[in-house]
Amino acid sequence: MSATTEQSRPADDRTERRVHCPADGRHVGSVPVQGPADVTTAARTLRAAQPAWEALGPRERSRHLRRWLDWLLDNEARIVGLVQAETGKSWSDSAVEMQVAIDVINYFTGNAERFLADRKVASAGLPNKVRKLTVVARPYQLVGLITPWNGPLGGPIMDVVGALVAGAAVLSKPSEVTPLTWSAVVDGWNEIGAPPVLACLTGDGEAGAAVVEEVDMVMFTGSVRTGRKIAARAGERLIPCSLELGGKDAMIVLADADIERAAGGAVWGGMMNGGQACISVERVYVEAPVHDEFVAKVVEKVRAIRQGMDEPGTYATEIGAMVTPAQLEIVERHVADAEAKGARVLVGGKRGAQGDAFFEPTVLVDVDHSMACMREETFGPTLPIMKVGDEYEALRLANDSDFGLSSSLWTRDRRKADRLSRLIEAGSVSINNAIIAVFQLPVPMGGWKQSGLGARFGGANGVLKYCRQQSIVSERIALKAEPNWYPVVRSRSEFMAKVVRFLGAHDWKRRLGR
Ligand code: NAD
């Protein structure tokens, strides 16, 4: 049976999910198919453990997270091997996920105490001088974490650290397509003897929906379609949700850019992870004077890409397989639609020689916005490149999208870069680089338009988003009674009204009530 058939097949039965490597079809592991009853049981256990976890404080919680990082490093080959086995990616794309884990754990544990410290706030207005104001961050008790298949380790780890360090318990549900890595990593949490505040539920959309029913806050990464369902249900339950959804990231190359660097950035940004990244370069707009040179360099670099699932640890290929047959069919449809409407394929354009699960890295030119490859998320190894007359046309086209996750702008003129980046409608702009904004943990990574709600990372926000803000207002001097307490006494109330007017007005006429 081919990998494609194995992958498109539902679970062998309703109790076990058999996971097959997309690249070669071999069976690489199984997990139980868990459902709403399992979710309810797990939620109850997590809630029971959370108060003690919160009481530990950020320093102790960080200590557990850093022991988890030690465990990850001690098990690196096995965990990265699982990422590769269940996605069919290249070793280099799989290994990046461990780097993300290291960065995220070190950043948030290194700053947890500062991010979660009580905030002393100055009071506003003379009468409030007698009050001491403090804002305290208290975690949601149970956070639900639902993730997609393109980053089995990188996806959940980006969000779980902020939630755990905040003091929440986390009920996580990895994608049913790639559940092995995250199950193993959560086993690692238990192996190090950390408090039982992290659970991994392996199931499909039904289990995901059950998570939304149980938790106090949802962190979701995945498709717009599912994100919308989760937001609707979260709205009904009146719980917050943070959504990281699809993208159609635009890259703008101006005539004064370093074309060699821009071409290299486009190829890496478009092909990394086989193009299966929400922040992939999905479409490129190039000013006419440098279009042909840019295209020639991109084609040369794409031709040099080695594709295949290399041996673990060998770093022998750049990109691997498509993780799901359904996604591969979307890529095929986008290329066929573009060709039917007049685009030319300069390299690639079909399934690869390595097998049915591989789609060749592909460059398309003569594309326009009537084509699906310029409007819908492709999530595959394609680079459609469009010639534009000037920067204004590039901006108009970049903003002509339902998505607004990330973007990039390539120019040697720093003032122009600053001016134009403020006109791009996307959550981030990388200048003279691709994708890189997403790895800057001190700044927010958030989607505009249909690309999401809220943001991940963003310094303290990456932890505080898992907290409720509690205001504590304390009287410095506690008199027997306040002037506005009962009974209402006319003379006292009139005097108070005069004082309020005197202090609040901005000119003498109004101060004195004349
Ligand atoms: P998906 O929406 O189909 O599934 C994501 C997760 O949601 C899975 O775990 C799934 O089981 C679960 N789910 C499905 N139905 C559910 C429901 N009704 N309620 C709750 N959970 C449910 O997405 P996918 O196909 O796995 O992933 C690809 C998508 O993810 C792409 O659109 C990509 O752009 C997006 N993505 C976004 C980011 C980002 O940070 N913005 C990162 C990676 C991937």
14 pLDDT tier (thresholds 50, 70, 90): confident
- Enter the tokens of residue 345: 């394929």
pLDDT score for 124: 95
Question: What does the pLDDT look like over 152-173, one tens digit per residue?
Answer: 999 999 999 999 999 999 999 9
pLDDT band at 264 (very low <50, low <70, confident <90, very high): very high
Strands of 191-255, DSSP E = 198-200, 217-221, 241-244, 249-253
Instruction: State the closest ligand 1 atom to the C-alpha of 452, by its place in the atom list counted from 1.
Output: 41
pLDDT at residue 11, rounded to an integer: 43
Q: What is the mean pLDDT of residues 282-301?
A: 98
**Side-by-side strand order, sheet with 169-173:** 198-200, 169-173, 142-146, 217-221, 241-244, 452-453
CB 144 within 8 A of CB 159: no
Rounded to an integer, the average pLDDT of 447-455 is: 98
For residue 482, pLDDT over 80 is answered with yes
Say yes or no to pLDDT of 273 above 80.
yes
Q: What is the model's pLDDT at position 86?
A: 98
Look at residue 208 and give its three-state secondary structure: helix
Closest Cα to atom 35 of ligand 1: 222
Question: How far is ligand 1, taken at its centre, from the CA of residue 165, in Å?
Answer: 24
| pLDDT for residue 276 is more than 80 | yes
The CATH number assigned to the domain with range 249-440 reads 3.40.309.10
Nearest CA to ligand 1 atom 13: 205
| Atom of ligand 1 at shortest range from CA of 212 | 20
Question: How many whole angstroms separate alpha carbon 40 and alpha carbon 42?
Answer: 6
Q: Rounded to an integer, what distance in angstroms lies between the CA atom of residue 402 and that of residue 419?
A: 23
Position 353 scores a pLDDT of 86
Examine the pLDDT at 405 and tell me if it is beyond 80.
yes
- Determine the distance separating the centroid of ligand 1 and the alpha carbon of 123, expressed in angstroms: 44
Residue type, 302: V
Q: Cβ < 6 Å from ligand 1: which residues?
A: 146-150, 173, 175-176, 204-205, 208-209, 212, 221-223, 226, 229-230, 244-247, 278, 377, 379, 405, 447, 452
The crossing angle, in degrees rounded to 10, of helices 36-74 and 91-116 is 100
Secondary structure tally for the chain: helices H, strands E: 17, 22
Percent of the chain at pLDDT exceeding 90: 96
Q: How confident is the model at residue 282 (pLDDT cuts 50, 70, 90)?
A: very high
Atom of ligand 1 nearest to the CA of 227: 2
pLDDT the model gives residue 3: 32
Confidence grade of residue 308 (pLDDT, cut at 50, 70, 90): very high
Nearest CA, atom 43, ligand 1: 278
Q: What is the CATH number of domain 36-245+460-468?
A: 3.40.605.10
Rounded to two decimals, what is the model's pTM? 0.96
C-alpha 21 to ligand 1 mean position (Å): 20
pLDDT at 10: 44
Residue 13 has what pLDDT? Answer: 59
C-alpha to C-alpha distance for 155 and 221, rounded to whole angstroms? 8
Write down the domain spans for the chain. 36-245+460-468, 249-440, 482-511
Average pLDDT over residues 120-148: 96
Residues 6+ apart with CB under 8 A from 428: 405, 406, 407, 437, 438, 443, 444, 445, 446
Alpha carbon of 149 to those of 157, 221, 225, 495: distances in Å?
13, 10, 15, 67
Mean model confidence pLDDT for the chain: 96
Catalytic residues: 244, 278
Q: What angle do CA 259, 265, 271 make, to 5 degrees?
A: 135
Measured in angstroms, how far is the CA atom of residue 226 from the centroid of ligand 1? 6
Give residue 352's pLDDT band: very low, low, confident or very high (50, 70, 90): confident
